[in-house]
Amino acid sequence: MFKKLDILDEKDKTLRKISKDVVFPLSKEDKNTIQKVIDELTYSQIEEYAEKYDLRPGMGLAFVQLGILERIIIIVHEVEEGIFDNYVFINPKIVSSSEEIIAAEAGEGCLSVNREVEGHVPRHARVTVEGFDEKGNKIRCRAREDLAIAFQHEIDHLNGILFYDKIDPKKPFYSDSEMRLI
Ligand code: NI
């Protein structure tokens, strides 16, 4: 049976806390939670299930959004219609990033932010992320474009940062000539 996750709303102060490094081995509970998050993020991006279970589409989640202050992020990236790549990164770190800055043209969303927030969030166009998989093996990913944005968004959560913190109130929007908008 599919049971929806309890995702904290932005008003919850827990989201502003710094998550702690995970010590291996991973608990059974954490493994179960990771699987539930993968399932829900996947369903949320398939219209039929999103409707059936009343899910807002989302491609990423950090454990802190479930009230668990552990440095675990999950990204479910649709690479082709109905085909998803899953990324589970434990204790993730951005080890290098491009000088080029981009932003999602339509702005960003967050499963903890239940309202529209307008504005461009400047992000590195490419990042290399290192971390550990569920078994504690070291992993690394070079991400670009929307996947790079997702990694930066989720890693920010681990440091208590929400996407709109990075929207400049004096200049919330950029033109194409100022920044590459994707
Ligand atoms: Ni978010």
Centroid of ligand 1 to alpha carbon of 28 (angstroms) = 24
Q: How far apart are the CA of 54 and the centre of ligand 1, in A?
A: 18
What is the set of domains in the chain, with CATH numbers?
A: 22-168 (3.90.45.10)
Q: Is the dihedral of CA 22, 111, 94, 46 positive or negative?
A: positive
Q: Which residues are part of the catalytic machinery? A: 154
| pLDDT for the residue 1 | 76
Sign of CA dihedral 120, 121, 122, 126: negative
Dump pLDDT digits (tens) for 86-101. 999 999 999 999 999 9
- Cα of 63 from ligand 1 centre, angstroms: 10
pLDDT for the residue 2: 84
pLDDT of residue 148: 98
Residues with CB under 5 A from ligand 1 (ion): 110
**Nearest Cα to Cα of residue 89 among 55, 139, 41:** 139
The Å distance, Cα 15 to ligand 1 centre, comes to: 10
Rounded Cα–Cα distance for residues 72 and 131 (Å): 9
Which tokens sit at 49?
């299930």
pLDDT tens digits along 117-161: 999 999 999 999 999 999 999 999 999 999 999 999 999 999 999
| pLDDT, mean over the chain | 97
Angstrom distance (rounded) from CA 25 to CA 1 = 27
